[in-house]
Structure 1
Amino acid sequence: MKEVSRDPEILGGTPVFAGTRVPVKTLFDHLMGGDRLDEFLEDFPTVTEAQALAVLKAAELSVEAAA
C-alpha cells in the first residue's frame, strides 16, 4: 500500500503514513478515542485526507475478507 511505509530508520520500522513520521496506529488510536477524522488531520497536518481514507478502506477490506 503506497500510503504506508516501513523503514527501520524511521521509528524502528513502525508502519507510518508515507512521507511522514506519523504512525498509522495513531489514526486508529484517535478514532477509538472519539476523535473525528478531521480532528486527527488537524493534529497531524503532514497526513493527507486521501492517505487516511485509504488506510481506513484497507482496514475495512481486511475485516471483510476475514469474515
Structure 2
Amino acid sequence: MEWQQFITSDKMILPGKPIIKGTRISVELILELFGSGWTENQILEAYPNLSTDSIRAVFAYLKDCLQQELYFPITS
C-alpha cells in the first residue's frame, strides 16, 4: 500500500495534520472513529468521499510512523 497516494499534509488545512487527500478528514479522526467502535462500512457511509483504500492508507501511514519511531514512549 502506497499511503502517499492517499495521505497528505497542508499547513493551511487543519494546521498541517495528516489528512486524506482531497478532504479535510484527518488521519486522527479516522482512528478516533475506529477506536469508538465504528466499522469501516459506517465510516464509508458517513463520509462517502472516502474509499476503502483511503481508510487502509491511514493504517499504512501509522505503521510507517511507528517503524520510524514517531511515537510516544509508554512508561509504566
Calculate the TM-score normalised by the size of structure 1: 0.78
Does the aligned pair in 1 maintain the 2:44–2:50 contact within 8 Å?
A: yes
Amino acid at match of 1:15: P
Quick check: 54-63 or 30-39, which moved more?
A: 54-63
Gaps of 5+ in 1: none
Aligned-pair CA distance for 1:60: 4.4
Gaps of 5+ in 2: 70-76
Number of residue equivalences: 65
**Higher relative CO (CA 8 A, sep ≥ 6), structure 1 or 2?**
2
Aligned-pair CA distance for 1:62: 5.4
Of the three residues 40, 46, 49, the one matched with 1:46 is 49
Rg comparison, structure with higher value: 2
Aligned residue for 2:15?
12
